[in-house]
Chains A and B, each alone.
Chain A
Amino acid sequence: LAKTTQPISMDSYEGQEVNITCSHNNIATNDYITWYQQFPSQGPRFIIQGYKTKVTNEVASLFIPADRKSSTLSLPRVSLSDTAVYYCLVGEGNTDKLIFGTGTRLQVFP
Chain B
Amino acid sequence: EADIYQTPRYLVIGTGKKITLECSQTMGHDKMYWYQQDPGMELHLIHYSYGVNSTEKGDLSSESTVSRIRTEHFPLTLESARPSHTSQYLCASRGRGPNYGYTFGSGTRLTVV
Contact = CB atoms under 8 A, between A and B. Distances in A.
Q: Is the interface of B mostly helix, strand, loop or mixed?
A: strand
A36 B104 CA distance: 10
Nearest to A45: B104
B98 A94 contact: yes
Contact of B98 (A32, A44, A45, A99): A32
Given A97-B33, A99-B59, A100-B35, A46 B42 contact: no
Contacts of B101: 34, 36, 46, 49
Contacts of A34: 101
Interface string A39-67: 00111111001000000000000000000
A101 B42 contact: yes
Chain A contact residues (Cβ within 8 angstroms of B): what range?
A: 20 to 34
Contacts, number: 57
B87 to A, nearest CB: 12
B45 interface: yes
A96 interface: yes
B106 to A, nearest CB: 6
Interface of B: 31, 33, 35, 41-45, 48, 50, 56, 58-59, 88, 90-92, 96-99, 101-107, 109
8 contacts: A32-B98, A32-B99, A44-B104, A94-B98, A96-B48, A99-B45, A99-B59, A100-B35
Interface of A: 30, 32, 34, 36, 41-46, 49, 92-94, 96-103
Given A41-B88, A97-B48, A100-B35, 8 more contacts: A36-B101, A43-B104, A43-B107, A49-B101, A96-B31, A98-B102, A101-B42, A103-B42
